[in-house]
């Protein structure tokens, strides 16, 4: 791993922790400044660590971020002829005190629940959470939420203004207000994982550091009596199931390996068992969430000895149940895929015709790639080529583009033989 890659890895693991800890100390009214200070710290690290990391990189980062915040606040204080009372207390705290694991966990939980405060517009909560918890760029948030980048920018600005105007507290809610907000927290963690599992970046398809961060945040919910719910356990199970086959998705050359061709013996059994253990706890009550059904779907794939032995009819049943509680264009695409596997082409087209490709935003290529497969499986090769060309044009990730190009070569070969 290169130094730049190590720094990016560290950024993903530390950004949310640093923002959360500094927000707990300085207050949410300084959130914009805190984010700027953390960003500046990583830029400084990038310049200061060209060849070698310090002995304690986390401590270095926290100390640098603290000093940067103090510099900014001192400058403002001198300009305004006053000094924030919080600064002396913060100056006397050591970096060791700040980065104790229980402090990190508490601060991050507070930040996640703050970001999911119902006084924030529901459209703004997820974008703001992804920015503050994992340091997503506007482009990454747009990809994760299937939005335009300009829309994301407006949502982030609106969320920050609301926090300032409403003086939203940095806290974990209790009582009846907790369950609704916890639903949004689950969505945030799920989206962080998805960006790691299937990245919208051009160069990388898989970002293991984001998957690991989502797993850590998800597990953190299970250690808190208020947040250790059936849905939380189901979410953790789902992330374990997906993580178990993470490294079989691509080869050493970062080429995509389809589910059909993945080496199932390489799937990581300890994570699968951990997921099953979480699911046992998730079904102790009759309360079923979308994550219960998605975990059931993932488990169905894991237990199939081969791709050909996958129980597609059972998978379709789980997707239909999922669609009843959480309908989305991506769910519908997956249902169409299953119908194609079962050679139920009429049913597949009925679903595809109900999907508006524009709703998928940056993932529109998946729709056209599936249409290409639909036509190819029926021997309608010219239409298959037309759709795969659209998919290749719209895909952003290089690995997926290469994967689709190979599919196109297969279609062209079939045309020549026809």
Check residues 252 and 302 and name the one with the higher pLDDT.
302
Task: State the Cα–Cα distance between residues 375 and 382, nearest whole angstrom.
Answer: 8
pLDDT at 101: 53
pLDDT at 326 over 60: yes
pLDDT at residue 88 in the model: 45
pLDDT digits (tens, 9 = 90+) for 182-193: 888 898 899 889
The token pair that represents 337 in the structure block: 């895929």
Lowest mean pLDDT among 143-152, 279-288, 328-337, 369-378: 143-152
Q: What pLDDT digit, counting tens, does each position of 254-313 carry?
A: 889 999 999 999 999 999 999 999 999 999 998 899 999 999 999 999 999 999 999 999
Which residue's entry shows tokens 């309908």? 327
Mean pLDDT on 379-400: 96
Q: Residue 415: what pLDDT?
A: 95
Q: Mean of the pLDDT values across residues 311-324?
A: 97
Amino acid 305: pLDDT: 95
pTM, full prediction: 0.81
Cα separation of 245 and 261, whole Å? Answer: 12
**Percent of the chain beyond pLDDT 70?**
90
pLDDT at 16: 84
How do residues 15-69 score in pLDDT, each as one tens digit? 888 888 888 888 888 888 898 899 889 888 888 776 677 888 888 888 888 889 8
Between 89-98, 235-244, 325-334, 344-353, the lowest mean confidence (pLDDT) is in: 89-98
d(CA 142, CA 396): 13
- Rounded to whole angstroms, how far apart are CA atoms 226 and 1? 39
- Cα first-last separation, the chain: 47
Q: Which domains does the chain have, with CATH numbers?
A: 1-99 (1.10.1740), 328-418 (1.25.40)
* pLDDT reported for residue 50: 67
Confidence of residue 226 (pLDDT cuts 50, 70, 90): confident
Report the C-alpha gap between 276 and 212 in whole angstroms. Answer: 18
The set of residues, in sequence order, having a beta carbon less than 8 Å from that of 395 and lying 6+ positions away, is: 365, 369, 401, 404
Q: At what angle do helices 122-134 and 101-115 cross, to 10 degrees?
A: 160
pLDDT at 81: 60
* Lowest model confidence (mean pLDDT) among 141-155, 305-319, 332-346, 387-401: 141-155
- Mean pLDDT of the chain, nearest integer: 86
Residue 66's closest CA among 90, 32, 47, 36? 90
pLDDT at 86: 45
Between residues 224 and 256, the one the model is more confident about = 256
286 or 5: which carries more pLDDT confidence?
286
Overall average pLDDT of the 218-239 stretch: 92
Interhelix angle 57-80/31-48, rounded to 10 degrees, is 130
Matching residue, tokens 């060849």: 51
In the prediction, which pLDDT does 4 show?
Answer: 61
Q: CB-based burial of residue 9 (10 Å sphere; 0-12 exposed, 13-18 middle, 19+ buried)? A: middle
Asked if pLDDT for residue 344 goes beyond 90, the answer is: yes
The pLDDT > 90 percentage for the chain reads 46
Q: What is the 3-state secondary structure (H, E, C) of the chain?
A: CCHHHHHHHHHHHHHHHHHHHHHHHHCHHHHHHHHHHHHHHHHHHHHHCCCCCCCCHHHHHHHHHHHHHHHHHHHHHHHHCCCCCHHHHHHCCCHHHHCCHHHHHHHHHHHHHHHCCCCCCHHHHHHHHHHHHHCCCHHHHHHHHCCCHHHHHHHHHHHHHHHHHHCCCCCCCCCCHHHHHHHHHHHHHHHHHHHHHCCCCCCCCCCHHHHHHHHHHHHHHHCCCCCCCHHHHHHHHHHHHHHHCHHHCECCCCCECCHHHCCHHHCCHHHHHHHHHHHHHHCCCCCCCHHHHHHHHHHHHHHCCCCCCCCHHHHHHHHHHHHHHCCCHHHHHHHHHHHHHCCCHHHHHHHHCCCCHHHHHHHHHHHHHHHHHHHHHCCCHHHHHHHHHHHHHHCCCHHHHHHHHHHHHHHHHHHHHC
């Amino acid at each position: 791993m290169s130094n730049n890659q190590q720094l990016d890895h560290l950024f993903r693991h530390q950004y949310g922790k640093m923002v959360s800890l500094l927000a707990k100390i300085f207050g949410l009214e300084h959130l914009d400044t805190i984010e700027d200070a953390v960003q500046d710290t990583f830029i400084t690290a990038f310049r200061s660590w060209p060849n070698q990391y310090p002995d304690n990189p986390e401590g270095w980062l926290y100390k640098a971020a603290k000093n940067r915040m103090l510099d900014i606040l001192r400058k403002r204080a001198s300009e305004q002829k006053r000094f924030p009372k919080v600064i002396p207390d913060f100056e006397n705290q050591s970096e060791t005190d700040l980065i104790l694991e229980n402090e990190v966990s508490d601060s991050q939980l507070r930040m996640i629940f703050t970001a999911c405060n119902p006084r924030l517009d529901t459209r703004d909560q997820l974008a703001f959470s992804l920015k503050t918890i994992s340091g997503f760029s506007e482009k990454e948030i747009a990809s994760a939420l299937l939005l335009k980048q300009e829309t994301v920018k407006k949502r982030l600005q609106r969320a920050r203004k609301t926090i300032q105007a409403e003086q939203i507290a940095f806290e974990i809610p209790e009582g009846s207000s907790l369950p609704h907000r916890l639903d949004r927290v689950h969505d945030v963690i799920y989206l962080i994982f998805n960006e790691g599992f299937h990245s919208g970046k051009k160069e990388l398809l898989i970002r293991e550091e984001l998957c690991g961060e989502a797993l850590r945040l998800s597990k953190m919910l299970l250690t808190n009596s208020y947040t250790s719910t059936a849905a939380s356990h189901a979410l953790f199970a789902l992330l374990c199931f997906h993580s178990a086959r993470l490294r079989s998705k691509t080869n050493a050359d970062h080429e995509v390996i389809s589910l059909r061709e993945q080496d199932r013996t390489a799937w990581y059994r300890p994570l699968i068992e951990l997921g099953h253990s979480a699911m046992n706890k998730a079904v102790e009550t009759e309360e079923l969430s979308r994550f219960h059904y998605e975990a059931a779907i993932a488990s169905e794939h894991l237990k199939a000895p081969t791709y050909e032995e996958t129980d597609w009819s059972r998978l379709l049943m789980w997707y239909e149940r999922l669609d009843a509680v959480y309908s989305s264009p991506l769910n519908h695409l997956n249902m169409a895929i299953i119908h194609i596997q079962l050679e139920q082409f009429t049913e597949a087209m009925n679903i595809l015709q109900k999907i508006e490709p524009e709703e998928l935003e940056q993932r529109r290529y998946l729709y056209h790639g599936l249409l290409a497969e639909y036509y190819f499986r029926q021997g309608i090769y010219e239409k298959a080529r037309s759709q795969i060309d659209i998919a290749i044009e719209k895909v952003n990730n290089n690995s997926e583009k290469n994967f689709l190009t190979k599919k196109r070569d297969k279609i062209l070969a079939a045309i020549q033989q026809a």
